[in-house]
Structure 1
Amino acid sequence: MSAAPVPFSLVGIDHVVFLVDDMPSALGFYYGVLGCQPGYTYPALGMEQVWCGSALIVLWDITHPGAGNAVPPVAGGRNVDHVCIATGPFDHDALRAHLGRHGVEIDREAMHGGARGMGHSFYIRDPFGNKIEIKGPAVYPDGRG
């Protein structure tokens, strides 16, 4: 199937927005557990953006008066299954220990495909129940990785 031409070219994911209800807890997780860096801040909206490599994760506090448009239309409704964060090579035991020190449970580990090929993934949740996949680089049958 051939796609119709579009008037733009795709570059990659720019940002993902997560709805949260405790900004200090959210920032603690994304800075302390995932190592994200401070991004843009929008205090009038109750919004903080954190850098995740070259993409942004937007944290929007639904308890903030400026976040009226952020409240999900259905109470408790989900609008994102998970976000996959691509990483460089890592020691699996060291990651398990790091997550444990922060009280973050690993939902599961798996070998999954992605934009960079088959790689080892750890699935965790942030303090608000958002599922995060931490995915290492591709592992090849010949041992390259």
Structure 2
Amino acid sequence: MPEPKPSVLFVCIHNAGRSQMAAAFLTHLSEGRVEVRSAGSAPAVAVNPAAVEAMAEVGVDLSTETPKVLTAEAVQASDVVITMGCGDTCPVFPGKTYLDWKLDDPAGQGVDAVRPIRDEIQRRVHGLLENLGIQPRF
């Protein structure tokens, strides 16, 4: 019987920038070896266009993603919950690993300001994969 996949939930306020980029990188780099979710405590209407553009520059497509609302069920179903500026709005359940990634908010920023945020998220996702014992795609 195969081992269950680790499950990671990325949470930020609007689920339109940081958490979307992190989820897309983890999905891309893990090649399906991690169950990936993202959500926001107050989801936006659409993903930040500058985040979509910045991710396209590195070959990751965010154009079909939509912000999702954070639910207790999503947290409960995840092994690792990574927050990015959502404060105390994320429910806490015993037995989960919680990490807080302090990152600049790309909301209202142009693509030039989003690129360094994207690059830092990619670096952290590589580290997360190492901690999960999964070799990244590249």
> Shorter-chain TM-score: which interval?
0.3 to 0.5
TM-score (structure 2 length as normaliser): 0.33
Looking at secondary structure, tell me which structure has more strand per residue: 1
Instruction: Give the number of the structure whose residues are more often helix, by fraction.
Output: 2
TM-score (norm 1): 0.32
Report the structure number with the largest CA radius of gyration: 1
Specify which structure has the bigger relative contact order, considering alpha-carbon pairs within 8 angstroms and separated by 6 or more residues: 2
